[in-house]
Structure 1
């Protein structure tokens, strides 16, 4: 792998795997897909698949243990993002939503509120469909996050 940032993907049910590979290839960065199973093998030496146990949060734990400051992570999992942001990892959701030190507290609070409303039956908890607009927003946001990570990693 390289000396620069690595892109880690919480790959279970991630809708933007192909987009991650495209952006990472353009920037010459390695990608690590982490999942409980079901990953397509790749012959690309810059792509690594890590299959973890089915234990709850095993993929999250693996990413947290391996990601370094100025790496990039892609996840829709707010609790995982909350563990990565303080470690200096650039974190994006699959819609391009950045999780930053300024936004992670509100993201966690909103996630917890939504969970409470679902548990009490006040909300059905439907997620919005993933759209072409989301995919496009993700591509732009990932490119920006990678540029910031590379710049920060190089000390500029």
Structure 2
């Protein structure tokens, strides 16, 4: 059975994801650390100790082929792709084998800049258009991944 797993630490689309999953009767698992405890009636929440990648590794250990993962973390996305999950970011970008290497390289370049004392411009304020695009892409993906009753 399809499950949607949310890397909820700092995720701006938790409520939108839950609304769509509720309407399509798809179970949701929210994973977060003790600094970002997120409880919702429509989902099971698992809370992990705050620490380097504790939520990421817990999520990877639970994801199954065909599940959908919502995350902003390229490293986590890469691990979930290796487990044959479908992975989206908060803007509706689907991480794939075709784009993950470039994204990981960009992350590495940004970390190099930070270590050199250069601070790349942070993300702009989230817009309603980004929320709408995520909802459109996510709902289409869930519908595609729901096994048909034959």
TM-score (norm 2): 0.91
**Partner residue of 2:76?**
80
Offset of residue 105 of structure 1: 1.0
Q: Is structure 2 residue 3 aligned with structure 1 residue 6?
A: yes
Return the offset for 1:43: 3.4
> Compared with structure 1, are the counterparts of its residues 123 and 33 closer, same or farther at alpha carbon in structure 2 (3 Å cutoff)?
same
Give the deviation of 1:24 after TM superposition.
0.6
- Superposition CA RMSD, Å: 1.8
How many pairs does the alignment contain? Answer: 149
Aligned mate of 1:16, from 10, 13, 31: 13
Q: Of residues 37, 40, 43 in structure 2, which corresponds to 1:39?
A: 37
The residue number in structure 2 matching 1:145 is: 141
Find the aligned partners of 1:88 and 1:63 in 2 and give their Cα distance. 13
* Aligned residue number for residue 120 of structure 1: 116
How far does the alpha carbon of each residue in 1:26-49 deviate from its partner, in whole angstroms, 9 at most, with x for none? 2111111100034343333xx100
Uncovered stretches (5+) of structure 1, i.e. residues with no partner: none
Q: Provide the residue aligned with 2:51 in structure 1.
A: 55
Do the aligned partners of 1:86 and 1:101 also contact (CA within 8 Å) in 2?
A: no
Contact persistence 2:7–2:56 (CA under 8 A): yes
Q: Say whether residues 1:29 and 2:26 are aligned partners.
A: yes
Structure 1 CA distance for aligned equivalents of residues 92 and 65 of structure 2: 20
Equivalent residue number for residue 89 of structure 2? 93
